[in-house]
Amino acid sequence: MTPSERLAHHLTDWLGRWPGHGGIDIVGSVRREQPGWDGRVFPVIGVHSPDASVLSVPPGDAERVRSRMVQLGSNGTTWEELLPLLPGLLAREDRFVYSGIFRWCERPSALPDAGEWIAADDPSVPQWLRPFGHEVLIARDPDTGGYLAGVGIKHHDAYGRELAVGTDEAARGRGLARRLVAQAARRILDEGGIPTYQHDPANVASARVADAAGFPDRGWRSAGMP
């Protein structure tokens, strides 16, 4: 199975449908009522591409969102127009919907490995990495053995593996994050998964890491209601 096929399987499972049928497809999925990778329920998850867009909501809310899109105008509703309306449409006014850059990797950059895989519950693992479970990838100081940077993996489904990376402030500027992300992506691909990466559009540093590691910006966007 090619990486593109794995991505399609991941998005179909994660959203309830992929690709869409044109415009913005509103899909009612039971996944929006079930705990995600970290045990939290995300009532909205969406992926927007230049060719197709799918917004996944709880099954009981799908028709209400579709009807609101029709009311907004005969020319169609844009992704940017719809997202801020979702908390009200889903009767969750205390929540917000984020929008991010959605990337995936087919060919990680040929950067040297920078870390070692270790169980997430190992006592030496920083607190921020422990919720990811499974194994995490950690770069350590060669002299002191102290933590420098790490990558955790969000296991969304059988194929989708979303990477999260963090670098200790004192260790930034050494290229560790991009090397760890590329290293993790290689392992995920070798294991038959598809590595994905999301970040805030304003996070220039995260965008540079993604670009350098082999996760190009293809013009895809993501959305979610935490």
Tokens of 29: 């999925």
Q: Is residue 166 part of a domain?
A: yes
Phi/psi zone of residue 182: left (φ > 0), alpha (ψ -120 to 50 degrees), beta?
Answer: alpha
Residue pair 157/14 in contact by the 8 Å Cβ criterion: yes
Q: Is residue 189 part of a domain?
A: yes
pTM of the shown model: 0.94
Same domain, 9 and 80: yes
Question: How many angstroms separate the CA atoms of 68 and 116, rounded?
Answer: 49
What is the pLDDT at residue 157? 97
Q: Is residue 109 part of a domain?
A: no
Q: Is residue 223 part of a domain?
A: no
Mean pLDDT value across residues 45-67: 93
What is the pLDDT at residue 74? 45
What is the pLDDT at residue 23? 84
Q: Which residues span the domain enclosing 77?
A: 3-102
What is the pLDDT at residue 73? 60
Same domain, 204 and 132: yes
Tokens of 122: 């190992």
**Interacting residues of 145 by C-beta distance below 8 A, sequence separation 6+:** none
Same domain, 90 and 132: no
Of 102, 131, 159, the residue that ends a domain is 102
Q: What is the CATH number of the domain that holds 127?
A: 3.40.630.30
Average per-residue pLDDT for the chain: 94
